[in-house]
Structure 1
Amino acid sequence: MLGAGLALALCALQLCPAALGGSYPQLLVERSGSRRLSKVGGFAWENCGDRRDPVVLQSLSVAPDPISIPGSLRVSAAVSSGKAMASPLKVVLVVEKALGDLWIQLPCIDQLGSCTYNDVCTILDNLIPPGTTCPEPLLTYGIPCHCPFKAGSYSLPASDFILPDVELPAWMTNGNYRVRAAVSNGGEELACVKVAFSLQSQ
C-alpha cells in the first residue's frame, strides 16, 4: 500500500483529505478550541517492522520542508510487497508528542491519536466509494486505492498535491511528534512504518 505510513499518520492527525489531495468531501469538523494548522516540518521516516515483513516502504520523499498549509506538497514514494494485502487490514497507530526529553503517548480521542482501526479497507471505501475511479496521480501510475492490494512493486514519481486548510483539535499543540503505524492481517504483521514531524498552528 503505497505511502501507507504517511497516509495513516496524516489520518491520525485529521489530515485524510490532505493525503488524498483534498479532492474529496471535507471530512474535518470544527471542534471547540481548535486551531488552524499552518506548517508541518522536520519530516523523517523509517521502517520499523521485522525484516521478514512482506511489505516494505523503500523510499519516501516529501517537499518542501516545512510544508505550508494551505499550500502545495510534492511527494514521491516506492513500496515493495511480497504478499497481497486483503481485508481486514488492521492498523494500530501510536502517536507520541515530545515533552522535554520524554515522549508522551497521546490517547485515542474521537478516532484521532493512538487508535486501532480494525479494517482500513473500510475506511478507504468510505473515502473513495467502490466503483469510483482512483484519484490522480494514483490512476496515472496504476496504484490501487482499494483492497485487495496485489503483491508487487508500486512507485509514485514526484507528484504535486494541493493541501486544504486543516483544523487541529485543541489537544494537538505545537511541537514534535512521532507516529508508528503497524499493519496486520489475521495477527500477522505485514508492514510497520514510523514517521516524525513537527507541527505549527495559528
Structure 2
Amino acid sequence: MQSEIMLCLIALLSLGLVLGDVLKFQPSNYIPASKFGRQVRLTDFKFKNCGDKSKDLFVISSLDILPDPVQFPGTFTISFSGVAKKTISSPVPAEVKIAKKEGDKYLDLPCIQGVGSCNYSDVCALLAQIGTQCPDPLVEAGIPCQCPYNAGSYKLESAAFNVGSALLPTGDYMASINMTSADGHVGCYEINVTLS
C-alpha cells in the first residue's frame, strides 16, 4: 500500500510513499471505517520552503501536483526540481509534523507505529528498508531511493502515482519535515492541503 503522508517536498510526498510500504501502516486500524471507501479530493495544495535556501544542503525549487483537484482513489502526477549542494548521507535525523485543523487550531496527529508527527533518528535507515523497490518514475529520472544523495541537480517530470483510498479523513492538514545532518541543515519543507 502506498502511504501518502502528504509529505512536504518530495521528502514528504516520496518519503510518505516509501514509508507506508516499509512500515505497513494501515490507517483503517486507527481511523473509523466510515471514513474510507468513498472518493476524496485534494482540493487545495500549498508548498513552501521553511528553511534557509542559502544554507540548506537540499533546496527544492519547484513542486507541482496534478490534476487539480487530485481524486482518491486515482492517479496523480508529481513534478519537482531541486539541488543537493553537498552529498547527503546517513545519518539524517528528521522531525515530521502532521496536524489537522480543528476549529481555528491545528492539532498534531500522534506518532503511531512510526507514522504521524514523529522524530526519526535517520531517514536514510528508513529508506534502506525499501531495498530495490524504488518506484519506476524515480529510477527512470535517476533519483535514488536510498542514501547517499550525491551533490547535483534532481528533476522529476510528470511522474504518475496510483493512490488507493484517502489515508486521512476530510479536512485541512499541515505537514512539515525538518531534516539535519552532520554537514548542516538539509532542509525544511511544509505543505498545507485540504481534503474534501
TM > 0.5 fold call: yes
Aligned pairs for 1:175-186 within 5 A: 175-186=171-182
2:117 is aligned to 114
User: What are the superposed Cα offsets for residues 142-174 of structure 1, whole Å, 9 maximum, x if unpaired?
Assistant: 1111110001100011122211235x4xxx542
Aligned pairs for 1:156-167 within 5 A: 156-166=156-166
Cα pair 1:6 1:195 within 8 Å, conserved: no
Cα pair 2:23 2:113 within 8 Å, conserved: no
Q: Please state how far the C-alpha of 1:140 moved relative to its aligned partner.
A: 1.6
2:89 is aligned to 86
Q: Distance in 1 between matches of 2:45 and 2:189?
A: 13
State yes or no: 1:73 paired with 2:76: yes
**Structure 1 stretch displaced more, 85-94 or 132-141:** 132-141
Cα pair 2:25 2:115 within 8 Å, conserved: no
Q: Please state how far the C-alpha of 1:25 moved relative to its aligned partner.
A: 8.2
Q: Please state how far the C-alpha of 1:90 moved relative to its aligned partner.
A: 1.1
Q: Distance in 2 between matches of 1:180 and 1:116?
A: 12
Q: Distance in 1 between matches of 2:109 and 2:83?
A: 30
Q: Distance in 2 between matches of 1:117 and 1:76?
A: 26
User: What are the superposed Cα offsets for residues 37-66 of structure 1, whole Å, 9 maximum, x if unpaired?
Assistant: 732230110100123112111100001122
Larger strand proportion of the pair: 1
Q: State the aligned residue count.
A: 182
Q: Distance in 2 between matches of 1:118 and 1:146?
A: 15
State yes or no: 1:63 paired with 2:89: no
Q: Distance in 2 between matches of 1:43 and 1:153?
A: 24
With normalisation by structure 2, the TM-score equals: 0.81
Larger helix proportion of the pair: 2
2:191 is aligned to 195
Cα pair 2:23 2:114 within 8 Å, conserved: no
2:24 is aligned to 27
Describe the shift of the 1:191–1:100 C-alpha distance in structure 2 as closer, same or farther (beyond 3 A). same
State yes or no: 1:4 paired with 2:2: no
1:105 is aligned to 108
Unaligned stretches of 5+ residues in structure 1: none
Aligned pairs for 1:133-148 within 5 A: 134-148=134-148
Q: Distance in 1 between matches of 2:121 and 2:90?
A: 10
2:3 is aligned to none
Q: Distance in 2 between matches of 1:55 and 1:139?
A: 19
Describe the shift of the 1:142–1:7 C-alpha distance in structure 2 as closer, same or farther (beyond 3 A). closer
Tell me which amino acid in the other structure corresponds to 2:12.
Answer: G
With normalisation by structure 1, the TM-score equals: 0.79
Tell me which amino acid in the other structure corresponds to 2:29.
Answer: R
Q: Distance in 1 between matches of 2:134 and 2:116?
A: 27
Describe the shift of the 1:94–1:25 C-alpha distance in structure 2 as closer, same or farther (beyond 3 A). closer
SS in 2 for 1:78: strand
